[in-house]
Structures are given as structure tokens and as C-alpha cells.
Amino acid sequence: MNHDDEIRLLPVRGLPEVSPGDDLAALILNTDYKLLTGDVLVVAQKIVSKSEGRLVDLKTVIPSDEAIEIAQKQQRDPRVVQVVLSESKSIIREDAHVIISETHHGFICANAGVDRSNVAGADWVSLLPVDPDDSARKLKVRLGELAQIDVAVLITDTFGRAWRQGLTNAAIGVAGLSPLLDFRGQQDDHGKDLVATVLAIADELAAASGLLMRKTARIPVVIIRGYSFDTSSEGASSIIRPRERDLFR
């Protein structure tokens, strides 16, 4: 039984509550888990946003007429709706239950990533990082400085999908690995060309880590060990389907 080629998903426990200005790399290295060169470090967006101070006190938010109108229809807090609108480039769908919008980064998701859960204080919400690819790169560099290791870093959030119920964890920031794996031009085991086969590796890694990052468990960081990845300077922004080739906006 040869298990040399297995992949391991390791939950990182014991991180403290993260506050604005905290050095996430130092906090992660301070746990009992020893990161190794070649690991993929997967970090939940929430703690990245907290360390970067991407938090909004709803008491400071003045909702627009549009926000008030949507909030009335959806029976939500108009201040939260205002923050969602501020974080959105455009609204993709909006009905009595949900706002699906395109964030300023280009991600399409519910509520533009604005979230009340796991944020201290009833009147506070968290936003997505301003530039999650840059957040991932900085974390990768900082881990290298502090521990002399070369790892890939993913920042993830849970997104809904068209056509299928439930959320899955997806990559919103990537540093050090190729988010997409392109098999076009290669052949299958029967010598036929593989047509249109590009695998969204970063999202599969994110989903795998999602199995450990449950909403109520305090596991915002997962180490993926044993996955051989292609290095790349591309970020998660390369996963976004260009508008002109997207049939579902």
C-alpha cells in the first residue's frame, strides 16, 4: 500500500482572535503546526479582513434611498444593504431574498462578501480584502521572511453557485501556484485530444479546505500537504470569467 502520493488536509487550531494590524504570518507560525516548503496554506477571508481592518461599524453607515428600498423588500437592515451596494460594481440579480452582485474585484456572489457572522459586536460587519491576491502575496512573502519557507497561499470565502444548493469554499486570493491547470493540447489515455479541459485547481484546493473550515468551528487556517502544484505569478483574478464569455450575467 503505497501512500507516498497522498494529499493531507491539516486543520490549524489555536489561533487567537485576530485584530486589525495583527501579523497573520507570525500568528500562524506561532501555532503548533510546522509549515513546510511546498505546502499550500489556505486562510479564510474573515481573518485576513480582520487583520487588514476591513470592518465597518454599521452605526456610521447612512443608507441611500436604493438601499432602503431593497432592505424593505428583503426585510433586512438598510445599513447592511448600503454596505453591500458600496462593495458592488454592479447588481447581477436581486429579488425578495438575496442580492447577487459583482464585487469591485469582479467576483460574483451573494451580498458582495459582506458578512455579519464571526465578527465581534452586533453592529459590525466584515468586508472582503481590498485586493485578496495582494493579501495572499504579502502573507507568502512574510512567511518566507519569518520562517525561511516557500509555500503557496490561498485566501478563500464560501460562495453560492448557480443551479446547485449550498455554499462551497472558493479561492479569492492566490499566491505562488497556478489557479488554473490547462490540459488543452494534451491527450487522454486513449490518445484522443482533451478538448476544453481546464481545471480550476485553486477552487478545488479551497473546497478541500472547506471540509475543515466549518462555520462554527474555530479553524480559519488549513495546511494542504502533498499536493504538487505548478508555480505561477497569476492570482485568483485569473479565475474570473471575462464578461464577454460569460453566459450567466
- Give the count of alpha carbons within 13 A of 43, CB side only: 34
- What lies within 8 Å, CB to CB, of 42 at 6+ separation is 153, 154, 156, 205, 206, 209, 213, 221, 222, 223, 224
Q: How far is the CB of 142 from a second copy (least distance, A)?
A: 22
Q: Which of 42, 88, 158, 235 binds a second copy (CB under 8 A)?
A: 158
Strand order in the sheet with 40-44: 152-159, 40-44, 221-225
Bridge pairing between strands 88-94 and 181-182:
unpaired
Q: How far is the CB of 207 from a second copy (least distance, A)?
A: 4
Region binding a second copy by CB under 8 A among candidate stretches 50-58, 129-137, 138-146, 208-216: 208-216
CB 125 within 8 A of CB 114: yes
100 lies in the site for a second copy, by CB under 8 A: yes
Q: Which of 37, 72, 244 is closest to 148 using CA atoms?
A: 37
146 lies in the site for a second copy, by CB under 8 A: no
Binding to a second copy (CB under 8 A): which residues in 74-93? 93
154 lies in the site for a second copy, by CB under 8 A: no
215 lies in the site for a second copy, by CB under 8 A: yes
CA 164 → CA 55, 106, 161, 167, 193, distances in Å?
A: 30, 21, 6, 9, 30
Handedness of CA 128, 56, 84, 100 (dihedral sign): positive
36 lies in the site for a second copy, by CB under 8 A: no
Q: For 118, which DSSP code? A: T
- Give the count of alpha carbons within 13 A of 112, CB side only: 24
Q: How far is the CB of 14 from a second copy (least distance, A)?
A: 10
96 lies in the site for a second copy, by CB under 8 A: no
Q: Which of 19, 30, 72, 197 binds a second copy (CB under 8 A)?
A: 197
Region binding a second copy by CB under 8 A among candidate stretches 57-65, 131-139, 144-152, 160-168: 160-168
Q: How far is the CB of 11 from a second copy (least distance, A)?
A: 6
73 lies in the site for a second copy, by CB under 8 A: no
161 lies in the site for a second copy, by CB under 8 A: yes
Q: Which of 53, 218, 230, 231 binds a second copy (CB under 8 A)?
A: 218
Distance CA 9, CA 227 (A): 10
Of 118 and 232, CB closest to a second copy: 118
59 lies in the site for a second copy, by CB under 8 A: no
- Give the count of alpha carbons within 13 A of 175, CB side only: 21
Q: Which of 23, 30, 34, 36 binds a second copy (CB under 8 A)?
A: 34
Of 43 and 212, CB closest to a second copy: 212
Give the interface size with a second copy as a residue count (CB under 8 A): 77
Q: Look-up: residue for cell 507516498?
A: 4
